[in-house]
Amino acid sequence: MPSISDFVFDHTFAIAGAFVVLYFVLCAIYQLCFSPLCDIPGPWYAAISDFWLTTHVLRLQQCRTIHTLFEVYGPVVRVGPNKVVFNDLSTTKNVYSLLKFDKSAYYKSLLTNDNDHAMTTLPHTSHVFRKKGYAPHYIPTNLAQFQPDIHHSALELVNILDGIVKGNSVDCLTFFRHFMVDVVSASSFGYRIGALSKWAMDTEDPLVTAIGDFPKRGILRSAVHKRAWNLVCTIPNRRWRQLCDSDRIMAEFVSARVYETKSQMVSGASEHSDRVTLAQRLLRYHSGSSTATASDRDVISEHMGHLVGGCDTSSTTLSYLCWELSRRADVAKKLRAELDTVMPSRKAFPDITTLQNLPYLSAFIKEGLRCYGAAPSLLERVVPSSSVKTSVPEAFDLMGYALPPGTVVATQAWSAHRDPTVFPAPEAFSPERWLETGDNKEQLEAMNWHMMPFGTGSRVCGGQNLAQIVLRIAIAAIVGNFDLLSPLETTEKSMEMRDSFVIFPASMACHLIFNARKSE
């Protein structure tokens, strides 16, 4: 027979449960009927909770999901209790270039070494200070000093592919990541770390693996509570622990390089070099910090951010470009014909100025960045408070909808690059759309305005010039020396894009065959 205490407990539990249910029901009613955002179109279940969108984030399909919402609801969609996405060029200019809204807290999931870097610095004004430290490094005239290193790595890439048995495939995603680590390390620290050589010897490079893991680690961290993340990182699985430790692995490598550079600067050994590495530039810039330790930590974090931003993104785009070449003989033939005019020797690569003046190569790269730009995800910003000194009124007018301070707003390159009114047949890979024909000036101008493969506005990717240079040189090296084929395992399904802020193939690999170019 139940006791009185059991009876009281059961009823107390039932009442508490009823109050919890009532609370959530009232919250849902508020979000749907009384919230300042309630008039904005979108799925009702997205308006009452972030859970629905989070499920698509964890499924690595946020970009495609948001794009579908634009097709259903129009250019402004509510995707969370406090989040609104938009697909409009004028609004993009306002939010990212003119008003320069601060970033949302989402970016904190991409902290490196538990410290901020340019990408994770939320306030616009603080970002300006960080950007001044590295911006001069990425101007074209300075990057030209590192062109011999890029050519050296491109030649090593060709020689390694030459040595692969005909018919054997290569996982481009991994191979090109090793290539990019060599390139970015040369620019950052002034020497090549030999990542490509390790790949050729079938030796795993923990740094390269960590760089590939870091974006996935970031998206998982953003979707779960910190305590839950710390708990799941204790799972005794080697590959899982490797992913969780990706930040630490990168930090150890970069710290060693930074302190080595600092020692050389103190001894005067670096003064004899005719070029300034990114490490030297950042150490000098941050030397005015309150303490040397704070300065070094900022330099280390910044470098880690540049390694991830420079290596994982370009290697993915390069892999997709090669995949297109493997299935588009017509495109490969046009590229080869153009490159042959400036490459008398297949292993002597033209300088970047020459490559930038090749119209079809430029069109091919642009179309690749439109379709396969490595970071097409939501760029979250926050509507500022009226107390902040800005020209934004208390409620920000987003295409007729009044958004209160604190609202998260965002657009994504994925959708901007697939607007059918700007890019006819947007899912088709067509470099020809970028070629001047004499009567398509307005169309080209509209397409250029909608392009944002490196972000947009004041927070645009600082390393985009380096990425453009490397993509051109790498494609010239590959097209000039190889015929590309797709093996049976590389299909439309295996190459379907997934996103965790950056994109990658559904199969997590891009296997292609590089056969030595036939004599013509």
User: Which residue ranges form the domains of the chain, and what is each CATH number?
Assistant: 35-516 (1.10.630.10)
Query: For the segment 263-283, what is each residue's pLDDT rounded down to a tens digit?
Result: 988 887 766 567 899 999 999
Can you give the pTM of this predicted structure? 0.91
Cβ–Cβ < 8 Å for 112, 104: no
Alpha-carbon span 229 to 249, nearest angstrom: 18
Q: Where are the beta strands (DSSP E) in 345-407?
A: 381-382, 396-398, 401-403
Query: For the segment 189-222, what is each residue's pLDDT rounded down to a tens digit?
Result: 988 889 999 999 998 889 999 988 887 787 777 7
3-class secondary structure, 36: coil
**Share of residues in the chain with pLDDT > 90 (%):** 68
Give the per-residue pLDDT at 67. 97
Give the per-residue pLDDT at 301. 94
Which pLDDT band holds residue 517 (cuts at 50, 70, 90)? confident
Q: Residues 142-168: what's their mean pLDDT? A: 94
Give the per-residue pLDDT at 74. 97
**Share of residues in the chain with pLDDT > 70 (%):** 92
Which pLDDT band holds residue 171 (cuts at 50, 70, 90)? very high
283, amino acid identity? L
Give the per-residue pLDDT at 420. 96
pLDDT averaged over the chain? 89
The helix, strand and coil proportions of the chain, stated in percent and rounded to the nearest 5, come to: 60, 10, 30
Q: Does residue 301 come out as left (phi exceeding 0), alpha (psi in the -120 to 50 range) or beta?
A: alpha
Q: Show the tokens assigned to 469.
A: 């240079």
The pLDDT of residue 327 is above 90 = yes
Q: Residues 284-299: what's their mean pLDDT? A: 72
Cβ–Cβ < 8 Å for 123, 159: no
Alpha-carbon span 332 to 225, nearest angstrom: 47
Which pLDDT band holds residue 18 (cuts at 50, 70, 90)? confident
Which pLDDT band holds residue 10 (cuts at 50, 70, 90)? low
Strand 396-398 versus strand 482-485 pairing type = unpaired
Q: Which of the pair, 374 or 151, is modelled with greater confidence?
A: 151
Which pLDDT band holds residue 500 (cuts at 50, 70, 90)? confident
Residue among 398, 412, 376, 380 nearest 83 (CA): 380
Give the per-residue pLDDT at 520. 56
Alpha-carbon span 481 to 464, nearest angstrom: 26
Residue with tokens 């990717």: 461
Residue among 192, 177, 188 nearest 143 (CA): 188
Residues 332/334/340/346 CA torsion (nearest 10 deg): 0
Helices (H), 410-484: 413-416, 441-450, 464-481
461 is in an annotated binding site: yes
Alpha-carbon span 144 to 142, nearest angstrom: 5
Cβ–Cβ < 8 Å for 447, 424: no
Q: Show the tokens assigned to 6.
A: 């059991």
Residues belonging to the chain = 520
Strand 408-410 versus strand 482-485 pairing type = unpaired
DSSP state at residue 399: T
Alpha-carbon span 150 to 139, nearest angstrom: 16
The pLDDT of residue 293 is above 60 = no
Residue with tokens 């001047």: 436
Cβ–Cβ < 8 Å for 497, 370: no
